[in-house]
Amino acid sequence: MANVAVIGAQWGDEGKGKVVDWLASRADIVVRFQGGHNAGHTLVVGNQTYKLSLLPSGVVRGKLGIIGNGVVLDPQALLDEIGKVSAQGLKVTPENLRIAENTPLILPLHPALDRAREAARGEARIGTTGRGIGPAYEDKVARRAIRLCDLAEPETLSRKLDELLLHHNTLLRGLGAEEFGKDALLAQLLGWAPRLLPFMEAVWERLDEARHSGARVLFEGAQAVMLDVDHGTYPYVTSSNTVAGNAAAGAGIGPDAIGMVLGIAKAYTTRVGSGPFPTELHDEIGRGLGDRGHEFGTVTGRRRRCGWFDACMVRQAVKIGGIQGLALTKLDVLDGMAELKLCVGYRIRGEVVRRLPSAPGAQAAAEPIYETMEGWSGSTRGARSYADLPAAAVKYVRRIEELVEAPVVLLSTSPERDDTITLRDPFAG
């Protein structure tokens, strides 16, 4: 059995929670390898709904969850999330959750800087969640981050705080925001230490052992390829690499251990926050997709922008992300629509292209070229085999496969875990 890496193939919010939960039930270990608590997965298990931002989905299924070094970790957010799921009857202990010792921490000064910068941008704001993700990744790259292992060394912690505050307070002062004092931050970090350090370990060793023992590992990505800091619609992106290749660096394993790369895509397109969105619909159709699909962000609570399926963008994500198969979600949201459209190209300043360019001006100028398809009057909701689908729905899925140049291996037809058509087992490689 192979390992599996799950990544988003659009702009996030593709319904990864259900797919990851289904895969987690069959894995031995689930690893979060990037992002922070700006990502959210909603898992419905029986009569319980779990909303996770940092905890790997495997803990819900009684599997070992690992938070890798590619994540930026807000200690208080993690402790709050553990408290919340514990109140729902889920136990989270060092027996089922491990955190990489070299994981960078998000401190209270990071969201403060995040919000101050966004306010200063005014109309040019990029739509950040304001949770300090970007500033924390900046500190990591600048080699001034405080990492989980530093909580075990108070002298190291004190010295690193001096450098961190010199940098951040200068920026906060320039933005007219409140500065932070060392004593209060140090006391907060030392207060977190006894609650977090029991979860700490060199997770690369555990993953190496898992690899040699034949254990099945699920690498759980956050956000999506088109929010990747290198390959997405920059600067309207997240602050980490969301592509599957980052599972290796963000977990501490070799790239040959990643296994099959599964991309998640909705049967239409959504986006939260600012940034280009060529197929966005501002009419009743767009509002209808949002209403039927319950399109509100798990983390932000913001209403998602909705539009037609952008096959060019997903094809781009397939190529960049190394996606070998797609899980197509929310097909049932399209039930009853007489006509559907697929974006098959863009017209940018008179030129027809099949990719979304990197330059912001060209992205903003992209006009979608549509192919129109017949909708279906029947219902796909709850279907568990292709035989249960209307013929026009099957034709729609097949056309998506052709356009994005990747097979649909899983097809989700409702939020319920078992309402999934499985065409190929991702763990079979």
- Residue pLDDT, tens place only, 237-296: 999 999 999 999 999 999 999 999 999 999 999 998 889 999 999 999 999 999 998 887
Active-site choice (37, 41, 110, 231): 41
Between CA 401 and CA 411 the distance in angstroms is 12
Burial of 173 (0-12, 13-18, 19+ CB in 10 A): exposed
Straight-line distance from the first to the last Cα atom of the chain, in angstroms, rounded to the nearest whole number: 7
| Location of structure tokens 């005014």 | 122
pLDDT level of residue 118 (50, 70, 90 thresholds): confident
- The reply to whether domains 109-196 and 265-428 share a CATH topology is no
Q: Output the average pLDDT for the chain.
A: 92
Report whether pLDDT(402) > 80: yes
Between CA 179 and CA 166 the distance in angstroms is 10
pLDDT level of residue 30 (50, 70, 90 thresholds): very high
Candidates 296, 289, 274, 269; CA nearest to 368 is 269
Say whether 13 is catalytic: yes
Look at residue 394 in the predicted model and tell me its pLDDT.
96
> Does 4-98+200-260 carry CATH code 3.40.640.10?
no
Domain assignments of the chain as residue spans, ordered by start: 4-98+200-260, 109-196, 265-428
- Residue pLDDT, tens place only, 329-382: 999 999 999 999 999 999 999 999 999 999 999 999 999 999 999 999 999 999
Q: How do strand 4-8 and strand 260-266 relate by DSSP bridges?
A: parallel
Report whether pLDDT(301) > 70: no
Look at residue 297 in the predicted model and tell me its pLDDT.
64
Report whether pLDDT(58) > 90: no
Phi, psi (5° rounding) for residue 219? -95, 120
- What separation in angstroms does the CA of 312 have from each of 121, 289, 421? 31, 20, 24
Specify whether the CB–CB gap between 81 and 50 falls below 8 A.
no
Between CA 14 and CA 20 the distance in angstroms is 11
- What separation in angstroms does the CA of 267 have from each of 2, 184, 316, 333, 374? 27, 49, 16, 8, 14
Look at residue 418 in the predicted model and tell me its pLDDT.
81
Classify domain 265-428 by CATH number.
3.90.170.10
Classify domain 109-196 by CATH number.
1.10.300.10
Say whether 41 is catalytic: yes
- What separation in angstroms does the CA of 90 have from each of 27, 61, 95? 18, 10, 13
DSSP state of 293: T
Q: Of all helices (H) and strands (E), which one includes residue 187? A: helix 182-196
pTM to 2 decimal places? 0.93
